[in-house]
Structure 1
Amino acid sequence: MAAAQVTAILSLTALLPTAAFPCGAPRPDNTTASKLLGTWLYVAGAAQFPQHLLEMLLIDHGHLYVEPREEKLLITQHMAVGDQCLTNNSTYFESAAGNATLVKHAKTQQTVGMVMNLSSEDVLLIQYKPQRERTYLGLYLYARNLSVSTAHREEFEHHAKGLGLSEKGIIYAPWKTELCQVKETKKGNSPCTEPTATATASPPLGTPRPGNAGN
């Protein structure tokens, strides 16, 4: 895959500044920070423009791994694009005033996204919007496993519609390959898993990242 394509895909990971929640989405309680820890599998993504949708179509699967690091919740993302498993750890979660959970860039500390809804402890919904690219808006659905209920998919689609994203702008990842492996931990009954990525490639510094999905 051309380097330009990979860079374009990774650029989808930029998140949003402190914007209003669409469609009356409830704000996640900042006391739920511990519930963000562990592995989140990419289920689906939604975007505005055809070029971004084409880039999403190149993503087979992926996951986020969230761990505490220096008083922050570091996000490490793995995603399978073509024959590569790409890795990025340039963002982290941070609780903010008003019970919001933000996604911030580790180097610039700029807000690049926000957790939109935690109606279930097994589902994670993040709105993305790069501060430097006002024309891009994305919404991504992650879950603890790929058995996402119809209700949660409908909830995701409802929020996408609330952001002005059409049903045609929603893409579910196929999960046909096993490039970015997720290895289960042996810690009791925790739903969290620990990923081990193979053939990883690091994106340029300062590049945010996208989400992934499973059908």
Structure 2
Amino acid sequence: MLVTLSLLLVLPLALAADPPTCAPLATVTFDNATIRGLLGHWVYIAGASRNPPDQAELKEVKYAAFSFSPGSHEDEFNAIEVMRLNETCVERNATKILILWHNNTLVHVSDHVLSMAELIQNDKDLLIMKHVNANSPSLSFSARTPNITKEQLEEFKAHLHCLGLTEEDTFFTSEKEACPLPREKTGEGDTEPQLG
């Protein structure tokens, strides 16, 4: 408990100006409208964690975008991910997001690795997820466009604060590092539809 108190006292001044009140983070209860609202294109803005292996992964992600489309069952999304990991652009088309209605959790299935997250969202254009990890708290922040408002960023920072995370635990991506979207350009003057 003393460690937690110490961590909260050393938060950056940017978060301390008007410290948010920290009730337990309220997760979104899934219904059909909520799930439909998640479909479409998202840009990954930032991720935060205290877990060293997670931090190493977050540090490698220079840019990421993803798109959710309906899966073959009502309990899943198909996901396409495009990301720059250090200097390499990677596209993944075969990932699934499972919807666990009974506990309002999303499960990302990729390369036989499962990661679980709860949705914390107050705005239809934001996707803030608290990742379920027994080792340490973790949060990710995505938006419909890379251009977020100061208020949206402050909302994310308030959630960081409430989980005991700091800006030092946070890794931001950059639109300057964007990869071409899948099928964006196939040849000279030959343009195909983009994600989103």
TM-score by length of 2: 0.68
**Equivalent position to 1:53, from 52, 55, 77:** 55
Q: Which has the higher helix share?
A: 2
Q: Gaps spanning 5+ residues in structure 2: where?
A: 1-22, 185-193
Partner of 1:23: 24
State the alpha-carbon separation in 1 of the partners of residues 148 and 24 from structure 2: 21
Residues 102, 114 of structure 1: 8 Å contact kept = yes
Identity of aligned residues (%): 20
Instruction: Map Cα deviations across residues 66-87 of structure 1 (whole Å, 9 max, x no partner).
Output: 0112112122222111232223
Residue in structure 2 matching 1:123, options 111, 120, 126: 126
Residue 103 of structure 1 corresponds to: 107
- Aligned partner of 2:43: which letter? L
Q: Residue 64 of structure 1 contacts residue 75 of structure 1 at CA under 8 Å; is this kept in 2?
A: yes
- Matched position secondary structure for 1:39: strand
Q: Give the TM-score normalised by structure 1.
A: 0.63
Greater relative contact order, per chain length (Cα 8 Å cut-off, separation 6+): 1
Structure 2 counterpart of 1:66: 68
Name the CA shift for 1:93/1:160 in 2 (closer, same or farther; >3 Å).
Answer: farther
Q: 1:93 to 1:30 in 2, by over 3 A?
A: farther
**Cα distance in 2 for residues equivalent to 1:83 and 1:58:** 9
1: distance between equivalents of 2:105 and 2:169?
25
- Name the residue aligned to 1:38: 40
Shift of 1:56: 2.2
Closer, same or farther: CA 85–47 of 1 in aligned 2, 3 Å: same
2:157 is aligned with 1:157: yes
The residue type equivalent to 1:116 in the other structure is: L
SS in 2 for 1:181: coil
Deviations 1:90-137 (A, max 9, x none): 331414125x24224378796x2223222111111122245xxx4354
Q: 2:91 aligns with which of 78, 87, 92?
A: 87
Specify whether residues 40 and 135 from structure 1 end up closer, same or farther in structure 2 by C-alpha distance, changes over 3 A only: same
Between structure 1 and structure 2, the one with the greater Rg is: 2
* RMSD of aligned alpha carbons: 2.9
Equivalents in 1 of 2:138, 2:180: separation in Å?
22
The structure-2 alpha-carbon separation of the partners of 1:91 and 1:157, relative to structure 1 and needing over 3 Å to count, comes to farther
Paired with 1:194 and 1:38, the residues of 2 have a C-alpha distance of 8
Range that drifts further, 136-145 or 47-56:
47-56
Unmatched 5+ stretches in structure 1: 1-21, 185-192, 196-215
* SS of corresponding position for 1:176: helix
How many residue pairs are counted as aligned between the two chains?
161
Work out whether residues 83 and 178 of structure 2, in 8 Å CA contact, stay in contact via their aligned partners in 1.
no
Contact 1:103 1:115 in 2 (8 A): no
